[in-house]
């Protein structure tokens, strides 16, 4: 099975500081693999282990600054066989539409594939769009909210999926190729062992640019909307002062006041 994992590199939100004016200070933030994408990668690697000869290839798209030798090794120490990065100044601020187009072009260039696995949503924007738009670009089916899967073998050829929907769990079986996005529950990211860490540096990594992929940037960006809007600023909402009110609860009268006011608040 040829499995592709679409993994986003984001700024580590633990390193993002909030300035007093509400603006975000990202100057100290490191580039890391988006949290839930690691669950997707783990699930993909576990699935690949069920079918001999399977390969897991990680694709990522972003500005040149996301390339970092430690990050590469961190991804490849988690069982992926190969990493392909599209690094381009143009890609830095891409939204879901542009990213999905670029991923589709990378997948087409790479060759045959059976399954694309996306995380539940990226740690920064959490738009939950790339899976759907990628499937559209690849002209195939997509299922989201996958919490478990089973592979009965190449003979059957169908991947059965369990999806967790708002008020039910759905199980279905689907032939490949297919795009899925998985919920974090599907697998816990592994703790990388030293052996895997040491081996990661020797695994293949390729870096592409938009030009090498022959992406028509003008066309993509026009449709994607990035040319139609300008991001003016991003600010944290003003902090609400929390009102703390104390109630005298030693008497039943005090309790009655508390209950009445609480009931009024809840409506």
Query: Which residues are near other proteins by CB under 8 A?
Result: 69-70, 73-74, 77, 191-198, 200-201
- Find the shortest distance in angstroms from Cβ 208 to other proteins: 22
Identify the bridge partners of residue 116 per DSSP, sorted by sequence position: 4, 179
Q: Is residue 220 helix, strand or coil?
A: helix
- Find the shortest distance in angstroms from Cβ 131 to other proteins: 27
> How far, in Å, CA of 95 to CA of 68, rounded?
22
Q: Which one, 65 or 169, has the nearer CB to other proteins? A: 65
Contact 28, 15 (CB under 8 A): yes
- H/E stretch holding 76 reads helix 69-76
- Find the shortest distance in angstroms from Cβ 65 to other proteins: 17
Q: Which one, 78 or 163, has the nearer CB to other proteins? A: 78
> How far, in Å, CA of 204 to CA of 209, rounded?
17
Q: Which one, 200 or 210, has the nearer CB to other proteins? A: 200
- Find the shortest distance in angstroms from Cβ 39 to other proteins: 14
Q: Which one, 69 or 170, has the nearer CB to other proteins? A: 69
- Find the shortest distance in angstroms from Cβ 67 to other proteins: 13
Angle (CA) 225-228-229 rounded to 5° is 100
Tokens of 52: 């001999």
Q: Which one, 197 or 257, has the nearer CB to other proteins? A: 197
Q: Kindly give, in sequence order, each residue whose CB lies less than 8 Å from that of residue 259, ignoring residues fewer than 6 positions away.
A: none
Angle (CA) 259-261-262 rounded to 5° is 65
Q: Which one, 172 or 198, has the nearer CB to other proteins? A: 198
Tokens of 97: 């539409």
- Find the shortest distance in angstroms from Cβ 11 to other proteins: 17
- H/E stretch holding 110 reads helix 96-110
- H/E stretch holding 137 reads helix 130-138
b/e sequence 110-126, b meaning 16+ C-beta within 10 Å: beebbbbbbbbbbbeee
Q: Which one, 174 or 192, has the nearer CB to other proteins? A: 192
- Find the shortest distance in angstroms from Cβ 187 to other proteins: 14
């Amino acid at each position: 099975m040829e499995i592709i994992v679409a993994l986003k590199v984001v700024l580590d939100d633990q390193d993002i500081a909030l300035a007093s004016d509400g603006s975000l200070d990202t100057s100290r933030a490191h580039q890391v693999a988006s949290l839930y994408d690691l669950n997707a990668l783990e699930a993909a690697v576990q699935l690949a282990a069920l079918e001999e000869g399977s390969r897991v290839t990680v694709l990522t798209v972003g500005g040149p600054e996301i390339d970092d030798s430690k990050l590469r090794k961190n991804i490849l120490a988690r069982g992926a066989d190969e990493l392909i990065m599209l690094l381009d100044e143009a890609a830095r601020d891409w939204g879901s539409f542009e990213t999905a187009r670029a991923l589709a072009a990378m997948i087409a260039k790479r060759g045959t594939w059976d399954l694309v696995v996306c995380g539940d949503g990226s740690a920064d924007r959490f738009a939950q769009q790339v899976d759907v738009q990628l499937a559209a670009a690849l002209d195939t089916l997509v299922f989201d909210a996958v919490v478990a899967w089973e592979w009965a073998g190449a003979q059957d050829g169908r991947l059965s999926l369990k999806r967790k929907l708002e008020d039910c769990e759905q199980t279905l079986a689907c032939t490949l190729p297919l795009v899925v996005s998985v919920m974090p529950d599907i697998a816990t990211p592994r703790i990388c062992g030293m052996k895997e860490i040491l081996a990661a540096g020797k695994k293949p990594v390729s870096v592409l640019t938009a030009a090498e992929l022959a992406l028509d940037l003008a066309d993509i960006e026009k449709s994607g909307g990035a040319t139609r809007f300008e991001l003016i600023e991003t600010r944290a909402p003003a902090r609400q002062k929390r009102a703390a009110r104390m109630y005298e609860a030693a008497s039943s009268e005090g309790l009655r006041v508390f209950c009445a006011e609480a009931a009024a608040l809840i409506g």
